[in-house]
Amino acid sequence: MFESRNTKTNLSELGEFGLIERLTRDVKIQNDTTELGVGDDCAVINPGGKRVLITTDLLIEDVHFDLTYSPLKHLGYKAIAVNLSDIAAMMGLPQQVTVSVALSSRFTVEAIEEVYSGMKLCCRKYGVDLVGGDTTTSTTGLLISVTAVGLAGENCYIRRSTAQKGDLVCLTGNVGAAYMGLLLLQREKLAWKANPNLQPDLEGHDYILERFLKPEPRLDIVQLLQKNALQPTSMIDVSDGVASEILHICRSSAVGCALYEEKIPIDPATALMAGVFNINPVTAAMNGGEDYELLFTIPQDAYPVLAQLKQISIIGHITDKNSGVNLITHDNVSVPVEAQGWDALRKREQG
């Protein structure tokens, strides 16, 4: 587990530029493509003829995260990881990130340092350079915006819109665990609000909690596919649920799809917690979101190689558009897939 610091320094003691200097003083350049990092008006990136991939995510307190149960260091790690996942979803390798934060006066210097320590840990793990950003004040809590820059070889990046009829549909790792971790944390928060003397009952649930609080981008899969000369025809990361993501691919590619319930990879810990909440594990897997696994399509002739890769499950195949997007149940009933995952602009119940 990450350790917290007890010293507290008011932000006003350092000011904006003093805070930036303190947060970035130990940042070291790791990539030749980074020509100039933190400290000037712009970072300078020299990709040397590669295809540059850029993605941005905005995380807002009480919309995307709840500090009641999100440790600051984990939050910083996750803020970087989810952006790196977008780079991986296009078969790219991340190189640089910029980070902007808006924070209210209730945060101390040490608190925001804890956020940055998680960010820098993720950057170090995946060989990414933090090259700039911005800080400002907020009247509503903490906001984090991360922009990630990655590289892909010429004609090697993968889009959502190029799936072909007959392609296999593949999914990395397992899904539904992050959603079960979230439900567990929300349950314990409600119990704590009812009785602040209660200690949260989280023991034995490390896997699903870590999948939600500290996800890992599947950059290993990008390297695995490259190593085995496998070229997907389309790809997306599972941030909003398998159902939502396969619909994105099918709509963008003007195709249909058949997924098989029995093929959806679900960890035993996920299934166990789904039972506690009286939820069908497949429902959690299809609609939960925040697993940050990779969902991709690939030609059928890749099957002999794919079948040897334990990190990847074949869960269905692409059909013609008129067939629709369907989940084939255990008893061979075809059910239309509907997106019920996270939508930041949809009305929702407040926890």
Find the CATH number of the domain harbouring 226. 3.90.650.10
Q: Is the pLDDT of residue 29 over 70?
A: yes
In degrees, rounded to 5, the angle at the alpha carbon of residue 113 between the alpha carbons of residues 57 and 86 is 20
Considering the domain architecture, whether residues 141 and 182 belong to the same structural domain is answered as: no
Q: Is residue 271 part of a domain?
A: yes
CB distance 149 to 53 below 8 Å:
yes
Considering the domain architecture, whether residues 108 and 226 belong to the same structural domain is answered as: no
Considering the domain architecture, whether residues 146 and 174 belong to the same structural domain is answered as: no
Q: Is residue 43 part of a domain?
A: yes
Considering the domain architecture, whether residues 262 and 197 belong to the same structural domain is answered as: yes
Considering the domain architecture, whether residues 179 and 303 belong to the same structural domain is answered as: yes
Considering the domain architecture, whether residues 134 and 193 belong to the same structural domain is answered as: no
The residue type found at 351 is: G
Mean per-residue pLDDT, 259-280: 97
Q: Is the pLDDT of residue 349 over 70?
A: no
- The tokens for 342 are 């996270």
The domain boundary residue, chosen from 101, 128, 152: 152
Q: Is the pLDDT of residue 277 over 80?
A: yes
Q: Is the pLDDT of residue 134 over 80?
A: yes
Considering the domain architecture, whether residues 190 and 307 belong to the same structural domain is answered as: yes
Considering the domain architecture, whether residues 97 and 187 belong to the same structural domain is answered as: no
pLDDT at 24: 85
Mean per-residue pLDDT, 116-123: 98
Q: Is residue 105 part of a domain?
A: yes
pLDDT at 195: 93
Q: Is the pLDDT of residue 161 over 70?
A: yes
d(CA 286, CA 269): 16
The CATH code of the domain that includes 55 is 3.30.1330.10
pLDDT at 2: 55
d(CA 212, CA 223): 24
Q: Is residue 346 part of a domain?
A: no
Considering the domain architecture, whether residues 146 and 177 belong to the same structural domain is answered as: no
Considering the domain architecture, whether residues 134 and 27 belong to the same structural domain is answered as: yes
Q: Is residue 19 part of a domain?
A: yes
Mean per-residue pLDDT, 268-284: 96
pLDDT at 339: 78
Q: Is residue 344 part of a domain?
A: no
HEC profile of the chain: CCCCCCCCCCHHHCHHHHHHHHHHCCCCCCCCCEEECECECCCEECCCCCEEEEEEEEEEECCCECCCCCCHHHHHHHHHHHHHHHHHCCCCEEEEEEEEEEECCCCCHHHHHHHHHHHHHHHHHCCCEEEEEEEEECCCCCEEEEEEEEEECCCCCCCCCCCCCCCEEEEECCCCHHHHHHHHHHHHHHHHHHCCCCCCCCCCCHHHHHHHHCCCCCHHHHHHHHHCCCCCCEEEECCCCHHHHHHHHHHHHCCEEEEEHHHCCCCHHHHHHHHHCCCCHHHHHHHCCCCCCEEEEECHHHHHHHCCCCCEEEEEEEECHHHCEEEECCCCCEEECCCCCCCCCCCCCCC
The domain boundary residue, chosen from 152, 182, 216: 152
Q: Is residue 135 part of a domain?
A: yes
pLDDT classification of 350: cutoffs 50, 70, 90: very low
Q: Is the pLDDT of residue 347 over 50?
A: no
The domain boundary residue, chosen from 110, 128, 152: 152
pLDDT at 351: 40
Give this prediction's pTM.
0.88
Choose between 35 and 242: higher pLDDT: 242
Choose between 271 and 155: higher pLDDT: 271
Mean per-residue pLDDT, 231-245: 95
Q: Is residue 351 part of a domain?
A: no
Considering the domain architecture, whether residues 135 and 182 belong to the same structural domain is answered as: no
pLDDT at 343: 53
Considering the domain architecture, whether residues 209 and 285 belong to the same structural domain is answered as: yes
Residues 68-112 have pLDDT tens digits of: 999 999 999 999 999 999 999 999 999 999 999 999 989 999 999
The residue type found at 165 is: K
Contacts of 97 (CB under 8 A, 6+ apart): 80, 83, 84, 119, 123, 128, 129, 130, 131, 146, 147, 148, 149
Q: Which domain holds residue 324?
A: 168-336
d(CA 232, CA 164): 10
Mean per-residue pLDDT, 12-24: 80
Number of domains in the chain: 2
